[in-house]
Structure 1
Amino acid sequence: MTERPLRARRDAHALAAVRLLHTAIWAFFASSILAIPVTIWAGQLVAALWLSVFVWGEVVVLVLNRMRCPLTTLAARYTDDRADNFDICLPRWLARHNQRLFGTLFALTQLQLGWTLLAR
């Protein structure tokens, strides 16, 4: 086997691993954002605060990387593809609008959490 097909296979495996990891991390943060209002509604404000802290940590990582996930940079090493979802297992439209959609939802959850905490 020549070097080129072997390298292409290794790159494809590495890209698949990065995509799976990126998708798992995305799922954690997306579900955390969706869980915040549920935990607030259930009166679990400590849980809502912890979920918020985790998501704020991700926000800091994104800001420090010019609003680009470090896993996107890693995935780019293994392919020339630059479709909106080349680095994650999401539909293209969701990958394209991910930050706007979940950023807006997170901002709303933080307003809800702040309002709830102030009303106590």
Structure 2
Amino acid sequence: MTKTTKLTLIKIIHTIIWFFFVAVIFYILYSGVFNKITVYTWIGIGLIILEGIVLLAFKMFCPLTLMARKYSDSEKENFDIFLPNWLAKNNKLIFTTIFAIGLIVVIIRTIYSLV
């Protein structure tokens, strides 16, 4: 397999995983806003927290980014994923903010449902 093929495969896998986690983040927000909190909401929160732990363990880099670096010298933010460069650059800020808002709403709704 060539370096280009390996990089393309990593980009495809990385993009699929990215879409999955974005869907989970929006599901958490949806659950809180519409007060439809289920076990899946809490599983989603756990998955996002686990993703955060992985990023912390790899010094805020996705392991797939580190793998892709072996096959590219690109300085672009999106060298390892099929996203626009501006989104790849601001990805963590945008989706951490959305997750935090969703998490706060879920926690508030959960507390009020217990009272």
TM-score normalised by length of structure 1: 0.88
**How far apart are residue 42 of structure 1 and its match?**
5.1
Matching residue of 2:43: 50
**Structure 1 outlier segments of 4+, above 3 Å:** none
Conserved in 2, the CA contact under 8 Å of 1:61 and 1:69? Answer: yes
| Structure 1 vs Structure 2 CA RMSD | 1.2
Out of 30, 35, 38, the position equivalent to 2:30 is: 38
Aligned residues: 112
Identical aligned residues as a percent: 31
Range with bigger deviation, 24-33 or 41-50: 41-50
Matching residue of 2:15: 23
1:110 aligns with 2:103: yes
Determine which structure has more spread, i.e. the larger CA radius of gyration. Answer: 1
Q: State how far apart, in whole Å, the 1-side matches of 2:102 and 2:96 are.
A: 10
Matching residue of 2:80: 87
Q: State how far apart, in whole Å, the 2-side matches of 1:43 and 1:79 are.
A: 43
Question: What residue ranges of structure 2 are gaps of 5+ in the alignment?
Answer: none
Question: What residue ranges of structure 1 are gaps of 5+ in the alignment?
Answer: 1-8
Say which structure, 1 or 2, has more relative contact order (CA 8 Å, 6+ apart): 2
TM-score normalised by length of structure 2: 0.92
Q: State how far apart, in whole Å, the 1-side matches of 2:10 and 2:96 are.
A: 23
Q: State how far apart, in whole Å, the 2-side matches of 1:44 and 1:110 are.
A: 11
Q: State how far apart, in whole Å, the 1-side matches of 2:96 and 2:63 are.
A: 18
